[in-house]
Amino acid sequence: MPSEAQPTCGYASELVVFPGSPEHNECAMSDDIIVGRGTLLIASPGRITAYRVDADVNFLFQIHGAKTFSVTDSHQHEAVSHEELDAGFGVHVPCLTPHWAQNHEAPSVALSINFDLRSMDSVRRIYRLNARLRSWGLKPQPPCASSWRDHAKLTALDVLSSHRFLRH
């Protein structure tokens, strides 16, 4: 394995207990992971990352420079937490937690390790469909607001998906 990949693997092994390891039976997250990925983020001084909500779980490690990382309550749009991330520190961002960041005066280098979880797959699919529905001028209910609507949306997505598969 190249030496550049070793830090990512080291971080990942600290975050998740992988199948076959002695600790695997004690870690629920390892069975919930669909896929994991690491992204090296390089950004200019003062850069603001847009306010966003992700359907994956994120561990962000600051490697160089510093930034202010803000997290909100999902029902408010006011920050409930501001973390000052200097090199060597990190933050955990749970699924569906609104957040944004602003780099300080130096260029920023960070490593983002994300995991798509089985437990969030339906919610992720509904958010994607809702975005499409909004682009058509509709006002869909958010996931988990109505179980029958969620079920109808997921069923429609499954039917459309299988229809596309049959046409190819």
In which domain, by residue range, is 159 found? 120-167
59 and 131 both lie in a single domain: no
> pLDDT digit string (tens) for 66-118?
999 998 876 666 667 888 999 999 999 988 888 999 999 999 999 999 999 88
pLDDT tens figures, 9-60: 444 445 554 445 445 455 556 788 889 999 999 999 999 998 888 888 999 9
Residue 139 C-beta-side C-alpha neighbours within 13 Å: 0
DSSP bridge pairs for 108: 43
For the ranges 47-51, 119-123, 162-166, the maximum mean pLDDT occurs at 47-51
In a shared domain, residues 28 and 40? yes
Residue 2 has pLDDT above 50, yes or no: no
Statement to judge: residues 135 and 149 lie in one domain: yes
Number of domains present in the structure of the chain:
2
**CA distances (Å), origin 134, targets 63, 96, 122, 129, 159:** 38, 19, 18, 9, 20
Q: Which of 83, 100, 119 is the endpoint of a domain?
A: 119
Q: How many Å apart are CA 12 and CA 33, to the nearest integer?
A: 12
Q: CA quadruple 120, 122, 123, 128: dihedral positive or negative? A: positive
Q: Provide the β-strand partners of residue 112.
A: 39, 60
- Domain match, 43 and 104 both: yes
**Residues with Cβ within 8 Å of residue 43, at least 6 apart in sequence:** 49, 103, 107, 108, 110
Q: Answer with the residue of higher pLDDT: 159 or 104.
A: 104
Residues 100 and 129 in one domain: no
Number of Cβ within 10 Å of residue 61's Cβ equals 20
- Same domain membership, residue 151 and residue 97: no
